A = this chain, B = another copy of it.
Amino acid sequence: MAGRPPKPRTGSEAELPRVEAVERALALLACFREGRTHLTLKELADAAGLYASTVLRLSGSLERSGYLRREADGRFRLGPAVLPLARIYRLGSPLEGIIRPALQDLARETGETAAFYTREGEARLCLYRVNGPRPLRSHLEEGSLLPLALGASGHVLSVWSGIGHPREAAIRAAGHAVSRGERDPDSAAVAAPVFGADGRLLGALGLSGPITRFDAAAVPRLAGLVQAGAARLSAALRAG
């Protein structure tokens, strides 16, 4: 008697429809950064490349909905409505239950901080992280946006997502990337790619810590563990 939910149109990659005003509004939200948490109207307009009057109109709706707040001094900042979104995102993420345990294993085996990154536009986003047990350890927060150009995980994401990379051949051959003192002069990292069920790049599994613990003697072992962990993750995702 009944029909049931069809799959969405086969991946004809037909242009995704769009609504200008919505994308502009979201672009406003993306203007806030670490260290740029409060912005004046002009700063916001400049950062987004929009007219101030346009920003004011858009911000009206963002404010109503709780995504933006306006301080007494007139400066904008993000509103509390973003918190529930982040929570629901995590609850709905199928990766949560698979990746976090893997990070825990890796952090325990190595004593360093383990993290999982995905590419988000021209940046990499720390989706999950588990701190290592050592007192001196890499400090990192979930939800952080970091440059794609710097750090082992950034290299991995660049290479396997098809952006060019100066050391592409070497990294592909090794199956992992190493960075020493790139993003922070005292830190180092090792990372390897994780692939989804469809064989496409999902993200990078990374290990980071003080540069003194990532010397020539230690890196091969760490790299081996990271690569093994990434391979196990990819296999689990293929299965599950």
Listed in ascending order, the chain A residues whose CB lies under 8 Å from chain B are 5-8, 16-23, 25-27, 29-30, 32-34, 37-38, 40, 56-58, 60-67, 70, 72-74, 77-89, 91-93, 118, 120-121, 125, 127, 141-145
A120→B81 contact, CB < 8 A:
yes
B18→A57 contact, CB < 8 A:
yes
A124 to chain B, nearest CB (A): 11
CB-defined contacts of A60 to chain B, threshold 8 Å? 16-19
CB-defined contacts of A8 to chain B, threshold 8 Å? 70, 74
Q: Which 9 A-B pairs have the closest CB atoms?
A: A37-B92, A86-B86, A87-B143, A83-B143, A17-B60, A82-B85, A8-B74, A78-B89, A22-B61
B74→A7 contact, CB < 8 A:
yes
Copies of this chain in the oligomer:
2
A92→B26 contact, CB < 8 A:
no
Q: A26-B62, A73-B7, A125-B80 are in contact. Are A88 and B32 (CB under 8 A)?
A: yes
A80→B19 contact, CB < 8 A:
no
A57→B7 contact, CB < 8 A:
no
Q: A16-B64, A25-B19 are in contact. Are A89 and B83 (CB under 8 A)?
A: yes
Q: In the assembly, what is the distance between CA of A163 and CA of B237, in Å? A: 49
B66→A120 contact, CB < 8 A:
yes
A144→B22 contact, CB < 8 A:
no
A58 to chain B, nearest CB (A): 6
Q: A25-B25, A66-B120, A67-B26 are in contact. Are A40 and B5 (CB under 8 A)?
A: yes
A34→B91 contact, CB < 8 A:
yes
B141→A87 contact, CB < 8 A:
yes
B85→A86 contact, CB < 8 A:
yes
Q: In the assembly, what is the distance between CA of A29 and CA of B79, in Å? A: 15
A83→B125 contact, CB < 8 A:
yes
A228 to chain B, nearest CB (A): 26
CB-defined contacts of A7 to chain B, threshold 8 Å? 72-74
Residue in B21, B29, B40, B57 whose beta carbon sits within 8 Å of that of A85 in the complex: B29
B85→A38 contact, CB < 8 A:
no
What would 18 A/B residue contacts be, using CB atoms closer than 8 Å? A8-B70, A19-B61, A21-B22, A22-B25, A26-B62, A30-B65, A66-B120, A67-B85, A78-B88, A78-B92, A80-B118, A80-B125, A83-B142, A85-B85, A86-B86, A86-B87, A87-B141, A87-B142
